[in-house]
Amino acid sequence: MTDEAIKRNAKLNRSLAALRERRSGRVSSVTALVVESDNLRIVEAAAKGNDATVKRVVRGQLDIPIDGETPSAESLGNAIHQTLKELKIKPGPVVMGIPRGQVILRNLVLPALPDLNELAQMLHFQIGRELPFPMTEAVIDFKILHELEELAKPEAEEEADSVKKLEVLVATARRESIDYYHQVAESAGIKLIGLGWLPYSIARCAEIAKITERAHNVAIISLRPSEVGIDIVGHDALLFSRDIAVNLVGDAPPESTQCPDEYAGTVAIEVVRSLHGFTGMEHGEPIRKIVVAGETDCEQKVVDRLAKEFGVETILFDPKRLDIPDDSAKAACGAMSAIGLAEGAACSEGLRFDFLNPKKPRPPRDLGKIKLISGITGVILLIALLFGIRSSLVNKRLKVYDDLTAESAKIEKHNKIFRQMKLQAATLKKWERAGRDWLDDYAHVSAALPPAKDVYVSSFTIGRGGTIRLGVQAKSGEIISRLDKQLRAAGYDVKPIAINPASDRYGYNFRSAVELRLTSKAIPNLGTNLPPARPTDDGSLDGGAG
């Protein structure tokens, strides 16, 4: 495969990330946990640019029985919680992995469709026909391996054209397996953000350590206490994966004892059998290199036996190829899957297989539902528009109402004065029609009043029906009584006068309101009714000296 093709495949796989069911933001640090029998592999990694760097690799012991049975989710979760507590590790976001035995693998060759969603739909349809259980119980994730070219059947007198196709690796797990890891995480009190596939995590670790070659196939043999993993990587992809149950004598050989020869022989036989089976497959290419990894103290014996049996370059996995701390090198020998998980979750590309957030085709659009929602939205917008117009009109009318109310209040303030002036004007017009001059009556009333030294007029108003109202202030009550007689003598009809004590600053100690009504007898005669003589000390009308 050329470099250009590899770049195209990488770009396609990055684009497929958009089909994941849930996509969260990239985490700054992550902890990978992998359970191997009663061992717990722990790897802490942190984001570093687009890549990731491993901070620590630790192996812990789980307090669970080793009887070949899968422990319950609760007991395994409690054991993980206790081991993390003993190691004083408080993980943040956590990723775990599904082993090979819980995944169904299938290689498909599909047309290279431009729409990746259509590609995912075609893939799910094809896999659904081949699964031994319903699609509702399946969790499917996939990765594009290669871009292939096939010759199309030539038409009449036309040259054959090449048709691009994609080889896709599909991994399917039962939903109950995913639920199991959810329950384990809940019992352990950890936050599970990803659930990868362990064989592909091993391939990723080999890629980071640069022990694989694009042009050749490399077999990675992982020795574990109760099983052996065989993974073949080539062209930057996982081509083959198998787990074989091979138990060591006891739980795990102590460092002081030698590895049993029968164990190394059994492993070598099973590995050679699997490798020959792979090379015999269609499109199977020869194995150019074998890498043995593990922490069982049997790795060197297995390397020697495989080199003798298979006849290709066989080496031990060297953790120094990884950028990890020196104190984590020994634990890293058997933690390739955990390292690949942690690095994949922390880098920008993310896990290539993630059963917690699988790549899924987007559901088809429900046009009827879309039309219904659009119609409801249109009605809501129309109602909102009508309410907006109504609100605008109401606000305008309220403004007009407020302006008129303010103007009415202003007019009402002067309405009393207007009514009084209207009455006075009507009275004066009536006098005018009767041939009476109101100034003459004013002078006539003034002449009938006592001298100013005894009384003065504080107010003078003309009411309806020719009524004249006078407010007077007098020196004494006798003067007001005399005023009543004088007005009656002048021909006016006088309403009985009430005398009230009320002093002012000028020494006039009595106040009264006099109401006169014009009669036919009250005819002004300025020739006979002269006002009282002015006091000798009155200078109010003097024009000045000279």
Task: Look up residue 430 and give its amino acid.
Answer: K
The strand order across the sheet containing 217-223 reads 237-244, 228-234, 217-223, 287-294, 313-316
Q: Torsions phi, psi of 524, nearest 5?
A: -65, 135
Instruction: Name the residue with higher pLDDT: 437 or 222.
Output: 222
What is the predicted pLDDT for the residue at 255? Answer: 45
Q: Place 83 in a pLDDT band, splitting at 50, 70 and 90.
A: very high
Mean pLDDT of 403-429: 81
Q: Which uninterrupted H or E stretch holds 314? A: strand 313-316
Lowest mean pLDDT among 186-195, 427-436, 456-465: 427-436
| Closest CA relative to residue 440, chosen from 529, 533, 541, 534 | 529
| Closest CA relative to residue 228, chosen from 259, 187, 189, 269 | 269
- In the block, tokens 């390292």 appear at 339
Q: Place 530 in a pLDDT band, splitting at 50, 70 and 90.
A: low
Q: What proportion of the chain, given as a percentage, has pLDDT over 90?
A: 26
Taking a C-beta distance cutoff of 8 angstroms, is the pair 327, 255 a contact? no
Kindly tell me if the per-residue pLDDT of 516 is higher than 80: yes
| Closest CA relative to residue 149, chosen from 137, 135, 138, 160 | 160
pTM over 0.75: no
Kindly tell me if the per-residue pLDDT of 401 is higher than 70: yes
**Which residues does residue 246 pair with via DSSP β-bridges, in sequence order?**
none
148-180: per-residue pLDDT in tens? 765 455 554 455 455 688 888 899 999 999 999
What is the predicted pLDDT for the residue at 16? Answer: 59
What is the predicted pLDDT for the residue at 103? Answer: 92
205-264: per-residue pLDDT in tens? 988 888 876 667 899 999 988 889 999 888 777 888 888 888 765 444 444 356 788 888
Averaged pLDDT score across all residues of the chain: 82
Cα 438 to the center of its chain, rounded Å: 86
What is the predicted pLDDT for the residue at 436? Answer: 67
What is the predicted pLDDT for the residue at 65? Answer: 84
The two tokens of residue 99 are 């082993």
| Closest CA relative to residue 124, chosen from 136, 180, 113 | 136
| Exposure string over 203-223, b if 16+ CB within 10 A, otherwise e | bbbbbbbebbeeeebbbbbbb
Kindly tell me if the per-residue pLDDT of 33 is higher than 70: yes
The two tokens of residue 103 are 């995944």
Cα(33)–Cα(96) distance, integer angstroms? 5
Instruction: Name the residue with higher pLDDT: 487 or 57.
Output: 57
DSSP 8-state assignment for residue 225 = S
Instruction: Give Rg (Cα) of the chain.
Output: 56
